[in-house]
Structure 1
Amino acid sequence: MIKNIIFDFGGVLVGLDRHRCTDAFARLGAGAIAGYVDECRQEDLFHELEVGAIGIAEFCEKVRRACPGCTATDAEISGAWGALLTGIPVVKLERLAELKEKYRLVLLSNTNPIHWRKSVSDYFTASGKTVDYYFERTFLSYEMQMLKPDEAIFRQVLSETGFNAAETLFIDDSEANCAAARRVGLEAMHSAADEWLRL
């Protein structure tokens, strides 16, 4: 009997467009960074931002240092990285509102402050509500200083919520993350698009 659902964010709720993001970095003269995004590489500065090892200002400075000739401002670099996100379809927000009447919902995301702040201000509010309406807790990698698929991040969520793993469904677009969730006793759904809407 599933009583709780842990949602991933990118690719499950918010849409992603790597081409739009790489174009935005290229327009800033940050072609080397565009390569990281296009190849889905998460090491170095992107990884540091997602685990909270560096903040936005330091991230932007590292982007400029990695791309000789790039003089973009912090706001422009943040905007280019934010271009990866395309928004949350209203149908998904409506389905979350329905599911929260039957299940306890939390969110667990490998994310960074640039993406998260944009999502909180622009995307979760599309139906006139806030992220706190849909989820009782949000667990963000840059605040927790750990990333999926590390099993420790799932144990931390279970510990803080009091969820019974056997009564909890985890939904993610990464099979590696789903496999890690199963190893700690969670049910898991690999949902690369909109399959979860049929729950």
Structure 2
Amino acid sequence: MKGAPAVVLFDLDGVLAHYDHASRLQLLARRSGASVEAVSRALFESGLERDADLGLHDAQGQVDEFSRRLGRPVSLDDCIAARCAAMRADPAVLALAQRIARHAQVAILTNNNLLLRDHLPAICPPLFPLFEGRVLCSAQFRLAKPDPAIFQHCLAALGATPDQALFIDDKRENADGARRAGLHAHHYRDLPTLLAALREFEFLED
């Protein structure tokens, strides 16, 4: 047995929740009256979403800049609704996180913007209250996974050291970045392999 970690960090999209990019674009197109292609250009191809994920815009600033680039009015509520339409909590992984939380602090570390962090309870309600106050994102640190520094900043915010933490992400490069920062890490592919990995730690009972 490896011993129980004090902190378990979960990635968001692809681990705790399923993400449907097309649904997000379609809702924004309906709300704004623009085409799906125009929405994609203004939000993604323009680099706006990437910049917001690195903390260059706060929530309202991201919305305002999106409206400007799209050339049509878009509200904060529109952007929250679009993200909500695109996200669905994975009940099996969430149940596993609830089991882990009996013995360790659980938190989210996601490459995402302040709009998502600040409004995640409305965007994906099933994640709360389990992760209340423990949703951390690239924008607040102005760093992104897999940079090892983001894991160090995240753990400092949680009051833990790397050797006390386990990180779970569906991107191998992000798991590798966590290991370089000194954390235990698991590259998530499916629930059975995650369960097998967690059984190496003492906190997950059979």
TM normalised by structure 2 equals 0.75
Q: Secondary structure at the match of 1:169?
A: strand
In the other structure, the counterpart of 2:147 is 150
In the other structure, the counterpart of 2:107 is 106
> Is 1:61 matched up with 2:59?
no
1:10 pairs with one of 10, 13, 25: 13
In the other structure, the counterpart of 1:83 is 85
Distance 1:117 1:168 in 2: 24
* Change beyond 3 A, Cα 1:186–1:36: farther
Whether the aligned pair in 2 keeps the contact of 1:52 and 1:141 (CA below 8 Å) is yes
Write the mapping of 1:1-199 to structure 2, written as runs, cut at 5 A: 1=2, 2-3=4-5, 4-27=7-30, 28=32, 29=34, 31-35=37-41, 44-68=47-71, 70-85=72-87, 87-121=88-122, 123-125=124-126, 130-132=129-131, 137-194=134-191, 195-197=193-195, 199=198
Distance 2:164 2:135 in 1: 19
Query: What is the Cα deviation at residue 42 of structure 1?
Result: 7.9
Query: What is the Cα deviation at residue 122 of structure 1?
Result: 5.3
Query: What is the Cα deviation at residue 19 of structure 1?
Result: 1.5
Identity over aligned residues, as a percent? Answer: 23
Distance 1:162 1:71 in 2: 41
* Change beyond 3 A, Cα 1:163–1:43: farther
Query: What is the Cα deviation at residue 18 of structure 1?
Result: 0.9
Query: What is the Cα deviation at residue 132 of structure 1?
Result: 4.2
Whether the aligned pair in 1 keeps the contact of 2:42 and 2:70 (CA below 8 Å) is no
Distance 1:138 1:114 in 2: 12
Runs of 4+ in 1 over 4 A off after TM superposition: none
Contiguous gaps of at least 5 residues in structure 1: none
Query: What is the Cα deviation at residue 150 of structure 1?
Result: 1.6
Distance 1:170 1:138 in 2: 14
TM normalised by structure 1 equals 0.77
Distance 2:24 2:124 in 1: 17
More deviation, 136-145/167-176: 136-145
1:117-171 per-residue CA deviation (whole Å, 9 max, x = no partner) reads 4432353447xx51346xx733222222322122111112333445343343210
Contiguous gaps of at least 5 residues in structure 2: 199-206
Query: What is the Cα deviation at residue 82 of structure 1?
Result: 4.0
Distance 1:65 1:75 in 2: 16
* Change beyond 3 A, Cα 1:48–1:131: farther
1:10-34 per-residue CA deviation (whole Å, 9 max, x = no partner) reads 2110210011112223333053332
Whether the aligned pair in 1 keeps the contact of 2:170 and 2:187 (CA below 8 Å) is yes
* Change beyond 3 A, Cα 1:93–1:32: same
Q: Secondary structure at the match of 2:124?
A: helix
